[in-house]
Amino acid sequence: MRVQKSGSLHVLVLASLCWSAAAGCGHLGGGAASDDTIDIGALVYQTGPLAQKGATDNITMAADDVNAAGGVDGRKVKIKFYDIGGLTPQQGRTAAQRALADEPDALIGPSVSAQTNAFLGLLPKAEVPLINVSAQRESDPGQPQGNPWTFRIYHRVDRMAEAISRVVAERLKAKNVVVTHSTDDTSTHVKDDVVKGLKAKGITVARTASYTPEATDLTNAALATRGADAVVALGYPQPLGLMVKQMRANGIRLPIVFDPGAEAGVKLLSPGDLANTSLVAACRPQATRDRDPAAKKFMDDYTREHPGSYVNGYYYEAVKLIAEGVKNAKSLEGPKLREGLASIKGFKGVCGESTADADQNFIHDYKIVKLDGGRESLGGVVSGLTEAY
């Protein structure tokens, strides 16, 4: 059972710690949480192969925006970051253990599914809800590794695969496809589901080509795409970007459909490399800003406050959804906050309109993001995603 955070003694001890340490009690402060604040532990990659300052910038700006508006029922949002450092499941579990030791009100989870799954069993005892930014369905409530304390702001593998398959079939009209993928768990799961989805639509999958997440030579994967009508490219940003460069260098100009793993990788490519490419993503305020006032305001503010920093709407939205859950719950008590998150309906944010479904997933529609010439534009929306492969 989670220990409730209240009482004047706690406040005195916390104040004493702040005076003695003279650090760690600010916006990214440390120490045990307080009922006067909404304390969020953010499990992010500050070092290692997935290190990305944009994650911390997006989360920080979301907290600042909530606080500038007065907080929630007088409570201000306070963030503490916990560096994961690498890609192993144990690194994800270790970061979560450090965060839970500080008794947060909520967690925002890592983007590597195996790392998320490694610590999900800790949440029921701690009574801390997690906003999950990884993709595997196994973390959903009712699934083998899931529990009622997990929510998802990111894409679920099977829905992502359904969206990609529909884009390939309905938009590109492709008949013969090559699927390239990283060998990590999530990309492999997406590959399996994409292949099933494409075959169900009568599309031939000529071959699949795999590579490790740390690969630096993607020549074989690039050359394996020859002879296809289109390419589905799944995996981490750096190898995806390198593969596309090697495809183009070998004269392969096929249309490419990326999964969300390419979101940062497109920054590595020239406008010419990005010709005839698109990205399937549930949250892409860069592309929706001209049609969505919330996305436009976010993009205007973010590019002004964090020029050059990578935009990651999921992390920004996760903080805002936690604040909305507290507003619904009118409490920071774990079970009530969980119910408050589950009751969110029609929340209009930078990712579009979000409603918690029966599996506690917040995003359902996918955006087709055209990348031609290096400038992103909205190429359509894929709605009504229902598959569960």
In this prediction, residue 20 carries a pLDDT of 34
72-94 core/surface letters (b: 16 or more CB in 10 A; e: else): beebbbbbbbbbbbbbebebbbb
CA angle 164–212–152, rounded 5-degree value: 45
In this prediction, residue 385 carries a pLDDT of 87
- If DSSP codes are grouped into helix, strand and coil, which group holds residue 130? strand
Q: CA 191 to CA 57: how far, in whole Å? A: 31
CA angle 106–111–116, rounded 5-degree value: 60
Tokens of 380: 């359509």
What stretches in the chain show pLDDT beneath 50? 1-31
In this prediction, residue 267 carries a pLDDT of 74
Q: CA 291 to CA 18: how far, in whole Å? A: 45
* Paired sense of beta strands 366-370 and 352-354, if any: unpaired
Identify whether the C-beta of residue 36 lies closer than 8 Å to the C-beta of residue 8: no
In this prediction, residue 10 carries a pLDDT of 36
pLDDT per position as a tens digit, 19-70: 333 333 333 333 455 579 999 999 999 998 888 788 999 999 999 999 999 9
Identify whether the C-beta of residue 193 lies closer than 8 Å to the C-beta of residue 168: no
pLDDT per position as a tens digit, 254-285: 999 999 877 767 777 888 999 999 999 999 99
- If DSSP codes are grouped into helix, strand and coil, which group holds residue 254? coil
Tokens of 287: 């592309």
**H or E segment and range at residue 79:** strand 76-83
Tokens of 215: 């690969």
